[in-house]
Amino acid sequence: MSVLLSARGVAMHFGGVAAVDGVDFSVAEGELRGLIGPNGAGKSTFFKCLTGQLRPTAGSILFRDRNITGMQRFAIARMGIGIKTQVPSLFDGLTVRESVMIALRRFLAEREARRRAQAILERFGLDGLAETEVGRLAHGQRQWVELAMVIAPEPALILLDEPTAGMSAEETRRTAALIRELNARHTLIVVEHDMAFIRAIAHTVTVLHQGRVLVEDEVAKVLADPRVQNVYLGRQVQPA
Amino acid sequence: MSRKLFLEIAIALFLALAAALVLPRVLALFALINATVFIAMAVLALSLGLIWGVGGILSFGQTAFFGLGGYAYAVAAINFNDSLYAVPIALLVPTLAAAALGYFMFYGRISDVYVGAITLTVSLILFNFANSTAGEEWRIGEAPLGGFNGIPSTPQLNVPGNPDATLSPQAIFIVAVFALALCYILAKLLLAGRFGRVVVAIRENETRAELLGYDARRYKLGIFSLGGAIAGLAGILFANSVFVSPTMFSLFYSGQLIIWVMVGGRGTLLGPILGAFLVQAVTTWAGTEPRLNPNAILGILLMLAVMGMPRGLLPTLRLAWGRRRGVQLA
């Protein structure tokens, strides 16, 4: 499998604080990678570096062998990286249908976008809410709307930052099924706190701790690793 | 085009036609000229409604483009002696000025509050500059800029190609009515299309729009420049009903403009137009009552509007209408 995305020594320092501190990370085409780590490990910051929301203070990021380090976020999005953020980032004043349409209209004409939007709404079970303003939706529904928007342009790489946060058990189960289904056509990196969820979806897992990669291996091995258990229990460990 | 949009455009055209046919016959000359000023201001309010209400860009200095349009019209009309050339120039100058200012603001990633401060500053600089052009040396070609007196000899629009046939106040009123209707229809069509939808999406959440691949800077620059062009048109209409002077750039107008949009309803296109008519009518009436202070009335009106209907008149009416019919409105 060819490498889709690779990060070399990516660092993001805020003043004296190193949120991401030299991360080497790569993901192959078609992979479904779990990214875990305790709060403050740098997962979301790393995602922001990958999507151009933050310009890394050091290191480089290659996507399909092209250097995207420090590129504008819209340009990175156009190259095929989509992100679902930790706190749903939505168009509150637009309806669900309009939101999905916006995601599609960048590259599709009105009629085709309308047809595709309808299909996506049905796929996500959102067709009943299509004309509802996004700002009026419940938290779980908002997560689905964001997923629908992110997936609509069919990005090659999808980053999901805590996709099940605030979801019910049933919604979480549906999300896991959806992620597996998406993996048939997309490469995914999923940040999650729910270990059972990670175990259910991912094959390989990368653990971040204090802005660095602590360990990267098969999910069962990683979760059994004493170093990983220690960081989740708040004990000090030395990175490998 | 959706049926609703078609209907709205048809109503706008019908109202414009009705106003153009009836009002010049029934209004006295002074009232008609006053009405033309109201319409010029409604066009100006529409320009801010588009930038602020639709685009989410709070421009405190929309009067900069209003004044530039007026001055460019007066100077070009005096020099060319034909409004046929003056009108396009007077649209081009504020559009380019807005594009240049917008380029530095949006491509420099300057955000909300600072945009307000910068636009306000630019309009105040222009105000001071226009005020300081009293000397004989301040002339562009044949046109003296006139300092705080402005250009009282601002020429009226003429029949294209026939400079001697200047339009009567009645004809200028009709031109103003259709200019307003045209701007409204143009803005409606724009909003219904892809560009308008993306501009609204950027207002709602710029980060998300960019993460979906839209270059927000380009869209903001586009809507801001268009707002500059419409404000310039308002300036031309104002120049034709009064004459151009530095007050066009003043805080007095830029402040009132924001009140019109707030009272009428941000986020709608009709709201700012209604707000401009309504508030001007009230302040004009208050001005004729010796015991009332128009500015105090304006202040009270703003406070009442902000407290009683924070979304503005039109959205509040629509909500009430929707409730009465038992429809949940988006």
Predicted confidence (pLDDT) per residue in B119-138, tens digit: 999 999 999 999 999 888 89
Q: What are the structural domain ranges in chain B?
A: 3-249
Domain enclosing residue A117, as ranges: 91-150
pLDDT, greater one: B232 or A199: B232
**Alpha-carbon Rg of chain B, whole angstroms?**
20
Taking CB atoms and an 8 Å limit, are B216 and A74 in contact across chains?
A: yes
Given a cut of 90, whether residue A164 has pLDDT beyond it is no
In a domain, A141, yes or no: yes
Task: Residue window 26-55, chain A: list those with CB within 8 Å of chain B.
Answer: 51, 53
Share above pLDDT 90 across residues of chain B, in percent, rounded to a whole number? 65
Name which of B253, B77, B280, B215 is nearest A76 in CA terms.
B215
What is the pLDDT of chain A when averaged over all its residues?
91
Report if residue A105 sits inside a domain. yes
Q: Does A100 fall in a domain?
A: yes
| pLDDT for res B327 | 47
User: For chain A, what's the residue count?
Assistant: 240
> Which residues make Cβ contacts (< 8 Å) with residue A80, sequence separation at least 6?
A63, A64, A155, A156, A157
CA distance A111 to chain B (A): 12
Q: Does the distance separating the beta carbons of B213 and A106 come in below 8 Å?
A: yes
Of A22-26, B147-151, B177-181, the poorest mean pLDDT is in B147-151
CB A215 within 8 A of CB A222: yes
For residue A83, pLDDT beyond 70: yes
The residue that leads in pLDDT, B166 or B92, is: B92
pLDDT at B285 exceeding the cut of 70? yes
Using CB atoms, which residue from B200, B201, B215 is nearest to A74?
B215
* pLDDT tops 70 at residue A237: no
pLDDT of residue B328: 43
Partner residue opposite B205 with nearest CB, options A53, A89, A95: A89
Beta bridge partners of residue A61, listed in sequence order: A7
Q: What is the pLDDT of residue B326?
A: 53
Determine contact, residues B255/B244, Cβ cutoff 8 Å.
no
pLDDT at A233: 67
Residue that has been written with the tokens 């990021």 in this structure: A61
Mean pLDDT of B263-273: 91
In angstroms, rounded to a whole number, what is the distance separating the alpha carbons of residues A124 and A144? 7
Tell whether A72 is within 8 A of chain B (Cβ): yes
Listed residue (A217, A206, A214) closest to A231, CA to CA: A214
Q: How confident is the model at residue A239 (pLDDT cuts 50, 70, 90)?
A: low
Q: What mean pLDDT comes out for the span B36-53? A: 96
Q: How does residue A81 score in pLDDT terms, banded at 50, 70 and 90?
A: very high
Looking at the DSSP bridge assignments, the partners of residue B159 are B162
ipTM of the complex: 0.93
Tell me the C-alpha distance between A186 and A49, whole Å.
Answer: 20
The three-state secondary structure class of B106 is helix
Query: A40, A4 in Cβ contact below 8 A?
Result: no
Residues in chain B: 330
Task: Please report whether residue A129 resides in a domain.
Answer: yes
CB contact under 8 A, B211 and A74: yes
Q: Is residue A101 part of a domain?
A: yes
Tens digit of each residue's pLDDT (9 = 90 or more) over B200-254: 999 999 999 999 999 999 999 999 999 999 999 999 999 999 889 999 999 989 9
| Residues whose CB falls within 8 Å of the CB of residue A159, separated by 6 or more in sequence, listed in order | A47, A50, A51, A81, A82, A83, A84, A188, A189, A191
Selected residue of B4, B203, B211, B311 to mutate for chain A interface (largest A Cβ count, 10 A): B211
Per residue in B52-92, pLDDT tens?
A: 999 999 998 899 999 999 999 999 999 998 888 999 999 99
The secondary structure of residue A155, as a DSSP letter, is -
Mean pLDDT of A155-166: 91
Which residues are bridge partners to A10 per DSSP? A23
Judged by CB atoms closer than 8 Å, whether chains meet at B200 and A78 is answered as no
User: Closest by alpha carbon to A26, among A5, A46, A11?
Assistant: A5
What value does the mean pLDDT of chain B take? Answer: 91
Chain B residues lying within 8 Å of A98, measured CB to CB? 197, 201
Nearest chain A Cα distance for residue B329, angstroms:
9
- How many domains does the structure of chain A reveal? 1
Q: State the nearest Cα–Cα gap between A133 and chain B, in angstroms.
A: 6
- Kindly state whether residue A132 falls inside one of the protein's structural domains: yes
